[in-house]
Structure 1
């Protein structure tokens, strides 16, 4: 297992591990994002079995024990499965997630008390880095779902939004909506409900310049347009769902 290191925006590094056994022949990437700052943040931990590889990748960038914050989109093994391994090696690190996520899962499973974030709350990482939490319940799935927006670079840490197959470049300016639609057709992993389109269009209002994807290539370009197109597809799916 090998985790690659690629900067996708100023001070935001993608840690990417390809698992070819998932969805062959294209394979499937699992991506974490290190946001540099005076108080570095790791978005997604990866599953526990990936921890040694991801830890070694972080160690090539900074001492892992300097990590201050660990966050994720929603409670799932590939997003937060290695949280306690990270807490064990980084004594100042603290988990943070939305208030719902802390209430229903994180406060019980994390080895240290987490920081519960209100919708729209900003955390100053120092060094000019500020991340804003946005609640996105059941979008794409999970009552606790949410995303982080790094304000200085305009980078939206998307979690499972725009998930697609394959091992493409770290960053692309090509279409990511079509591949995301194809992956949803294959996996049927999203929670289809009437508010999905509204939730995603709310993220489009942030006008992100980079979309940092957990599965697949990140995107550089008109993030708002991509989000609106994804919202339109979810509206279509919700409308077509049997009553």
Structure 2
């Protein structure tokens, strides 16, 4: 059963176990507001579970925006299923993401956003950092300046996702995980993304894998700057999808 926890004011983490034997989880985030917004949708195969979790907080039919940081199964596999449930919801992605992926994949016309865009959700706002190759071509990271929350997708991943929020320093484990999976192809692109994240002074890192980080944010930024986590690495079988 998906777990639901409020991790910042009116921002809820919905967490699903992805690889049970490895305690590896996937999270996505609901912003409860006048225009309810889901950042990432999770896998298509987990839709029933995640929709039920979402319904603990809002009526899924009232969703207004479905934000896709990059095109990957755990980020947007359930996108079209949510669009079918929510007649007024709009998919949101970077300009490259719309042009090369969502413009064809989504069952409803998507909205392209860039660094000049802002979505007014009511109390919250969403702005966007364009972060190519962190870790895919079309990647972007949304953030909410009203709460200081960066929805950091696959940046700052961590272990043991069962804990909704951590104040602990898990940077060493984070670095070892990145060295294993090898998802950042370019040092220059990663450094550019870290510069953009640091510039908005985040208070909360809403991580797609692992616990949300609510402290030691400078430590995590420094760890990614100081360690070599880029380049091509052999695939980790831990990430193989479970059998259907």
Query: Does the residue aligned with 1:37 lie in a helix, a strand or coil?
Result: coil
Q: How many residues align?
A: 233
Could you report, residue by residue, the CA deviation over 1:123-174 in whole angstroms, capped at 9, with x for unpaired residues? Answer: 1101x100101100001x1110010111111000000011223234100111
Could you report, residue by residue, the CA deviation over 1:105-133 in whole angstroms, capped at 9, with x for unpaired residues? Answer: 1111000000110224111101x100101
- Over the aligned positions, Cα root-mean-square deviation in angstroms equals 1.8
User: Which residue, 209, 212, 217 being the options, matches 1:218?
Assistant: 212
Distance in 2 (CA, whole Å) between partners of 1:162 and 1:224 is 11
Distance in 1 (CA, whole Å) between partners of 2:15 and 2:82 is 17
Could you report, residue by residue, the CA deviation over 1:3-26 in whole angstroms, capped at 9, with x for unpaired residues? Answer: 0000000010000011344xx3x4
Matched, 1:134 2:129: yes
Distance in 2 (CA, whole Å) between partners of 1:11 and 1:219 is 17
Where do 5+ consecutive residues of structure 2 fail to align?
Answer: 234-244
Distance in 2 (CA, whole Å) between partners of 1:215 and 1:238 is 18
Matched, 1:166 2:160: yes
Give TM-score, length-normalised by structure 2.
0.90
Query: Does the residue aligned with 1:14 lie in a helix, a strand or coil?
Result: strand
2:102 counterpart residue number: 106
Whether the aligned pair in 1 keeps the contact of 2:151 and 2:207 (CA below 8 Å) is: yes
User: Which residue, 151, 158, 161 being the options, matches 2:145?
Assistant: 151
Q: 4+ residue runs of structure 1 moved beyond 6 angstroms?
A: none
Where do 5+ consecutive residues of structure 1 fail to align?
Answer: none
Whether the aligned pair in 2 keeps the contact of 1:201 and 1:231 (CA below 8 Å) is: no
Give TM-score, length-normalised by structure 1.
0.90
Distance in 2 (CA, whole Å) between partners of 1:129 and 1:237 is 33
Distance in 1 (CA, whole Å) between partners of 2:223 and 2:182 is 18
Distance in 1 (CA, whole Å) between partners of 2:36 and 2:210 is 23
Instruction: Indicate how the Cα distance of structure 1 residues 18 and 238 shifts in structure 2: closer, same or farther if over 3 A, else same.
Output: closer
Deviates more, 1:55-64 or 1:164-173: 164-173
Distance in 2 (CA, whole Å) between partners of 1:120 and 1:232 is 30
